[in-house]
Chain A
Amino acid sequence: DVKVTQSSRYLVKRTGEKVFLECVQDMDHENMFWYRQDPGLGLRLIYFSYDVKMKEKGDIPEGYSVSREKKERFSLILESASTNQTSMYLCASKTGTAIYEQYFGPGTRLTVT
């Protein structure tokens, strides 16, 4: 089974802090994604990566950056956390073939105070 793990289930940070959210997948997937989930808004794509060191902006990249130095690991970075970034963050991965099913991690609930 595909396994996608995220470094923390719950995280509390202060405004202005630099925050790292880590995601690791164990199926040698080429593509990885970061989504943000908010009540009443569904999931919105922040960034995705289709290969090591390659990244593309999603629908809501403002205030975020990403890093993919190894194939299995995709990090989401909040350079200076703000209260409006309080949310659930979901990581996902998929194979690079034409099968579009994505496999999700358990999510990180981030609270910025």
Chain B
Amino acid sequence: AQTVTQSQPEMSVQEAETVTLSCTYDTSESDYYLFWYKQPPSRQMILVIRQEAYKQQNATENRFSVNFQKAAKSFSLKISDSQLGDAAMYFCAYRFIGGGADGLTFGKGTHLIIQP
């Protein structure tokens, strides 16, 4: 079975600084997707960034980028120039590429605090 581990229950960063959230996963599959989702307080969960395992290039979305290390099964999220609106729970998630409508496998989340 696949597992996703987020070892940092909580992280704190000063506004405008850079922070990296860690995620490791365990799978025997070779083709899969990895995601970072953001859940602001009392608001809807939204997708931040997605990485296809077969792509060597790390995904980027504006201030958000990932460091995908397939051999190490590591998928960290870097947030540059942190803003107050980045404060949220962040979840790392995994889905193998294949048939079926199985849900995503999520980590336990990291609570990101932005200090003004």
Contact = CB atoms under 8 A, between A and B. Distances in A.
Contact of B101 (A30, A40, A41, A107): A30
Contacts of B107: 42
A58 B45 contact: no
Contact of A40 (B9, B46, B97): B9
A69 B61 CA distance: 38
Contacts of B103: 33, 35, 45, 48, 58, 92, 102
Contact of A42 (B46, B47, B106): B106
Nearest to B101: A50
Contact of B46 (A56, A58, A98, A104): A104
Interface string B2-17: 0010100100000000
Chain A's interface size range is 20 to 34
B104 A100 contact: yes
Contacts of A44: 106
8 contacts: A30-B101, A33-B101, A35-B103, A40-B108, A43-B91, A48-B103, A50-B100, A104-B46
Contacts of B4: 42
A105 B44 contact: yes
B23 to A, nearest CB: 11
B35 interface: yes
A44 B45 CA distance: 14
Given A30-B101, A100-B33, A101-B50, A42 B108 contact: yes
